Amino acid sequence: MRPQDLEEAKLCSLFSKCRPETAMGLLRGAFIQNFPTHTQLNREGEVADFLFFNLSGTIELTAHWRNRETTIDVIERPRAFIVAAVVMDRLYLQSSRVLKAARILMLPAGSVRSAMQADAGFATAMAEEASVAYRHVAQELKGLKLRSGIERLANWLISQDILVGSAHAFNMPYEKKVLAARIGLAPEVLSRAFSTLAKYGVRVEGAKVWIGDIDALRKLAFPDPLLDDETI
């Protein structure tokens, strides 16, 4: 690992409250790598041999059953992913692939587990990463079971708008078919859901989206921090 990579890695939240020697020990066997779009980082069902930390870029977590596939989570900000499989030393429950060119820190699973045993600060950080992941999927599950397709789309639009500074106009951060899988709709149904939202002031042209009447949209979406707050 190059010196400047080392400096970059040490800044990430995993190491914020652990002892310097733990971080150094872990980073000795670790590396940072840049991956282009479409790269498959791991496959569901494999034994967990690496902990991944997304430094920048976008990662999609997918799962499949029979010949169906869906999206479990999309990671757009710096955080660890597939934490639980590493902690438990079990099989990955999800595959992950790069949606937008990403810079990834990779830590060998075995040394992660020993570092946890040795350093309470690091183990705590891992518990926090696992908890963040838990709260994300729990939110997904709540949305999926409690909201209709239109409601999920409306709330996604509002969340995305907040993420980009409430300009009420933004570009799709990824393809519409990914969004469809993420919010649990067939691509055709998403397309129709967008048309339906026209009467709430939502305009779509290719990848560009405008929210004409945020209040009307919020009234439909009924956003709730317990389901929609990204930083919860």
Partner DNA sequence: CGACGAATTGAGTTCACTCAACTGGGGTGG
Partner DNA sequence: CCACCCCAGTTGAGTGAACTCAATTCGTCG
Nearest to 132 by CA among 84, 168, 87, 200: 84
**CB of 12 or CB of 216, closer to DNA:** 216
Does 47 sit near its own copies (CB under 8 A)? no
Tokens of 18: 């652990």
Q: Which does 144 bind (CB under 5 to 8 A by kind): DNA, its own copies, none?
A: its own copies
**CB of 26 or CB of 74, closer to DNA:** 74
Does 24 sit near its own copies (CB under 8 A)? no
Tokens of 214: 């945020």
Q: Which does 228 bind (CB under 5 to 8 A by kind): DNA, its own copies, none?
A: none
The least CB distance from residue 229 to its own copies, in Å, is 9
**How is residue 18 annotated by DSSP?**
S
Does 140 sit near its own copies (CB under 8 A)? yes
Distance CA 208, CA 164 (A): 13
Nearest to 222 by CA among 168, 147, 149: 147
Distance CA 212, CA 210 (A): 6
Distance CA 194, CA 157 (A): 10
Would you give the end-to-end CA distance of the chain in angstroms?
33
Does 218 sit near its own copies (CB under 8 A)? no
Q: Do residues 21 and 29 lie in contact, with contact meaning Cβ atoms separated by under 8 Å?
A: no
- Please choose, out of 133-141, 168-176, 190-198, 209-217, the segment that lies near its own copies by the rule CB under 8 A: 133-141
* x-marked contacts with its own copies along 74-113 as a string, rule CB under 8 A: ---------xxx-xx-xx-xx-------------------
Q: For residue 34, list its beta bridge partners.
A: 103
Q: Do residues 53 and 12 lie in contact, with contact meaning Cβ atoms separated by under 8 Å?
A: yes
**CB of 131 or CB of 195, closer to DNA:** 195
The least CB distance from residue 83 to its own copies, in Å, is 7
Q: Which residues bind its own copies (CB under 8 A)?
A: 17, 44-45, 63-66, 68-70, 72, 83-85, 87-88, 90-91, 93-94, 116-124, 126-128, 130-135, 137-142, 144-147, 184, 222, 224-227, 232
